[in-house]
Amino acid sequence: MNVLHWHVSDASSMPFHMQKYPKLAEKGGFTPEATYSVVDVDEITQYAKHRGIRVILEFDMPGHNYAWSLALPNLFVNCTDMHPIETQSWKGSFNPTLESVYEFLDGFIGEIAKRQTEKVLHLGGDEVQYKCWNESESIRSYMRKHNLNLTQLYGVFEERAHKIAKKYNLTIQSWDEVYSTAKDALPNDAIVQVWRSNLTLKSSILDGFRSILSKGYYLNLGFDMGKAQIQWTDIYSRDPMPSGLTKAQQQLMLGAEACIWGEEVDEWNIDSRVWFRANILSERLWSLQGDTKIGPDVLIRAIKQNCRLMRAGIHVNPIDDRNFFPRRNLWAQCEVDVPGYQH
């Protein structure tokens, strides 16, 4: 693993201190203490850099950002009638018809560009609630005047956001809704992160976009909101590379990403949600393409890595090894030489 995709903000919190817009975190964070200062962010990125890890910041927009509206209400469409609970993900959205929104984004993205050396910025773009926009009389009037429908208006926002990023020499990464709904708004160097469909992954690559796969690698599944569990064997046995691509097209596949969403995650359980399945994905991505057979050698490596993590104080999730080994206690596995493992 060599990239930390940091989903910094969402509807429920904007904890990132901006020098130009200090009220964003002051009003948008859960509490004044639950925020990231400029020093905090610098320390995190430097800590990662010294370990060979890139940090890509994500600020989701135009939706998933209600918390921003607590500081910038004049830039937002208020969806309170649709979503009365304050922390609902779709309660608010930037108003894409306002010039003041793009003036703010110019200042916001400009500061991010100055504060980081990373040249990729993730601007989300997922799960935009068109119903909210459509219930705004000013937005409906704007669409009539400019002969736009809702998805075309979404494309206008994405195109303008990307142009602002290019002004500051940044490349935008976004969720696959931007590609699927507003492909013409994407510059050639845009990065598409696919979370909904493997067909979208292949399509985006065939259209010439660099792409990343997250579908199938949501490590919160099985613990969060009752959805089907993602087993480690599912991760290892599936090659993320789409079939039928030329060598040149395969170069556009940047890799895959393990996601851990935080609706039911805190400091007490995050270790067991992430590990050891993230280990398995890491080996999958660094292994030969098509080599997806699961045998005792794979399990031996996974057990040994779990032991290393446990000895480092990380509370890893136990490995179900009943098909290969009779020992059921992980500490027992760590205290003996696992058959076939070479020190």
Q: Which amino acid is at 114?
A: K
Query: Nearest CA to 125 among 155, 152, 149?
Result: 155
45 residue type, one letter: T
Cβ proximity of 91 and 146 under 8 Å: no
- The C-alpha atoms of residue 151 and residue 279 are separated, in whole angstroms, by 39
* Cβ contacts of 30 within 8 Å, gap of 6 or more: 12, 13, 15
Q: How far is CA 132 from CA 94, 98, 117, 128, 178, in A?
A: 11, 15, 36, 9, 18
Catalytic-labelled residue, pool 103, 127, 263, 264:
127
Q: Is-catalytic flag, 127? A: yes
Given a contact cutoff of 8 angstroms between Cβ atoms, the answer to whether 229 and 236 are in contact is no
Inter-axis angle of helices 137-146 and 150-167, nearest 10: 80
Active site residues: 127
